[in-house]
Amino acid sequence: MTLSLLSIFDLFKPGFFYATAAVFAVLIVLLLVLIYWNLYERKVAFFQPQSFRMGFELWVSKWILEELQDIDTIRVPSKFTKHLKRPNNRQFALNSLIELKKSVAGAVGDKVVALYLELGFKEDSLKKLNSVVWHQKVKGINELSVMQQEDMNARIFKLTNNRNIYIRREAQSAMFNFYGFKGLRFLNVLTHAISDWQQLNLIEQLRPLDPEPIPGLSGWLHSDNDTVVIFALRLAEIYQCFEVHADVVHCLTHANEAVRSQAAKTLKEIADDSTAEILCKQYTAETLRNQIVVLNSLAVIAGDAQQPFLTKELDNENAFLKLGAARVIATCCSNGWAILSAKAQEQPSPFQKIYNHLRFELKK
């Protein structure tokens, strides 16, 4: 007890306060030094990369524009070689070349690829490709694809059916980027679904290319993967592949409603003399949604031969189908307006409204 009281009293001695103050003073000084050092490092980390980035982009632009004929000679300034050892600077330089390559072609594009190889960036892309982290792998695929490293196509092709949706999307786009229409050969082995978004992206990539025969299209229309069939039908529709008409007709009996719907849309673009009658026969076996699609297709390809079928559909209980049949009659039958006018007199409700609506819609 006495020892405890003495130790407590010692706390109030001047010497103890001086020692405590000194300790706190040292800690405050150390804290200030650490804060200053941290701010200094941040300043250096900000300004040095900015300086490097501006200098690198300026050098690349000058080299490409002023030395266009000297593609085999690349002399990288030593100051850049030093900075490129830092991961952040290296990735920035690589990203800059990737973006530049996307916006140029021809001789300038070849120079960008040559610089990509000279700086050893292909090895960086391969490290990403070999990564177990999916977004790194996606980045690697994209870099190799943009830089047209076709020697990597076999490895990338294997990833077109990867279980990770982002990896296989990027790999599929890469195969197209390498080979255009021929790059779609991954559809032969694809077991995973192709989303509508990915189909749209692939179609948009194909649009700038000159139309050409699509190898494998007929086989894709008989694929076990329903989304592959739908994508093939869309290709046949966009590029009017008349040679697969029979295969598309076969798709009208597919178990998947979406496949049948797209088949009806495709047949509108590749129709022959028998197509309208085929759609009329399929109509009765279809769902309401697909019946509307069939009528929309018939509005483009039907003729007087389909008039009995269409006239019968005017008595359908469903208002949408009644209007759809009336639209086809007005559009495709030689005496279509007379048929609708007579129907309106016979049964004013609802056919007078349908007649007036179609007159306004079709401007006739």
Tens digit of each residue's pLDDT (9 = 90 or more) over 149-172:
999 999 999 999 999 999 999 999
Taking residues 242-267, report their average pLDDT: 96
Compare 76 and 137 and report the one with higher pLDDT.
137
Compare 201 and 39 and report the one with higher pLDDT.
201
In this structure, the number of other CB atoms found within 10 A of the CB of residue 346 comes to 8
Exposed / middle / buried, residue 120 (Cβ in 10 Å: 0-12, 13-18, 19+): exposed
In the structure, what pLDDT confidence band is assigned to residue 22 with cuts at 50, 70 and 90? Answer: confident
Supply angle C-alpha 298, 300, 305, rounded to 5: 55
Taking residues 236-265, report their average pLDDT: 96
Compare 206 and 145 and report the one with higher pLDDT.
145
Q: Is the pLDDT of residue 213 over 90?
A: no
Taking residues 342-347, report their average pLDDT: 90
Find, among 81, 83, 98, 193, the residue nearest to 149 by Cα. Answer: 98
What is the C-alpha separation between 283 and 124, in angstroms, rounded? Answer: 57
Q: What is the pLDDT of residue 81?
A: 74
pLDDT tens-digit series, residues 38-67: 776 665 555 545 666 777 778 788 777 765
Q: What is the pLDDT of residue 59?
A: 79
In sequence order, the 6+-apart residues with CB closer than 8 A to the CB of 250 are 221, 222
Taking residues 81-96, report their average pLDDT: 82
What is the C-alpha separation between 161 and 163, in angstroms, rounded? Answer: 6
pLDDT tens-digit series, residues 275-292: 999 999 999 999 999 999
Compare 3 and 203 and report the one with higher pLDDT.
203
Q: Is the pLDDT of residue 6 over 50?
A: no
Average confidence score pLDDT of the chain: 87
